[in-house]
Amino acid sequence: MDAVSTNSASSPLLVVGLGNPGADYSMTRHNIGAMVLDDMADSFSLNKKVNAHVVETRLGGRRVILAKPRSYMNLSGGPVKALAGYYKVTPAQILVVHDELDLDLGTVTLKKGGGLGGHNGLKDIAKSLGTQEFLRIRVGIGRPPGRMAPASFVLKPFTKAEQPEVPIMCADAADLIVGVATGEVSV
């Protein structure tokens, strides 16, 4: 995909930060997508029609919708599909920010389509949209230590030693979002 096809001033970009609702999950590894959006926006409004917290802005002249579904991670597909319908965007205009076990802590990458890497939130989105061809910002959280189950690991808060990396990861992901929105970064 080139910058022209992802950055049309007339086509909005829907950026979805994945996470789980509630204070118990707010600082867990699984919520890094929502944390990125929290760092980008001062406040979100509740849009009950799409079951998400949203804020609209402009980046480089392009309309950008930042959204955090109110559903649990594994049920993100319904809200993402509702957001896409409400804002009239295609899967190619959707950018999902999510945690990634297969990347070292602090690594942030941009990817278009492809495999879902066992990520249940992405699986549900792909199922609801009927395609895997949407953009993703993968925020590395590393692998669980020892024999800890990945499902347990992602629901744990970042350790004290990892916490200084979190604002850097969020800033790196936010920079990628801005780059995609303005056409400075393409896949």
Kindly report the CATH number assigned to the domain that includes residue 174: 3.40.50.1470
Residues contributing to the annotated binding site: 25, 72, 74, 120
Q: How many other CB atoms are found less than 10 A from the CB of residue 121?
A: 26
pLDDT for 110-132, tens place per residue? 999 999 988 999 999 999 999 99
Give me the catalytic one of 30, 53, 98, 119.
30
Residue environment code for 151-181, b if the CB has 16+ CB neighbours within 10 A, otherwise e: eebbbeebeeeeeebbeebbebbbebbebbb
Asked if the model's pLDDT at residue 5 lies above 70, the reply is no
**What pLDDT does 42 receive?**
85
**Is 25 inside any structural domain?**
yes
pLDDT for 7-57, tens place per residue? 455 789 999 999 999 999 999 999 999 999 999 998 899 998 899 999 999
**Is 110 inside any structural domain?**
yes
Q: Name which of 73, 74, 94, 92 is nearest 82 in CA terms.
A: 94
* Count of structural domains, the chain: 1
Contact 136, 96 (CB under 8 A): yes
CA distance 181 to 178: 5
Domain that holds residue 33: 3-182
Radius of gyration of the chain (CA): 15
Residues contributing to the annotated binding site for tRNA: 25, 72, 74, 120
Residue 119 bears catalytic tag: no
**Is 109 inside any structural domain?**
yes
**Lookup result for tokens 């205009």:** 93
**Is 187 inside any structural domain?**
no
**pTM tops 0.95, yes or no:** no
- E strand spans, 11-169: 13-17, 45-47, 52-59, 62-69, 94-100, 108-112, 135-140
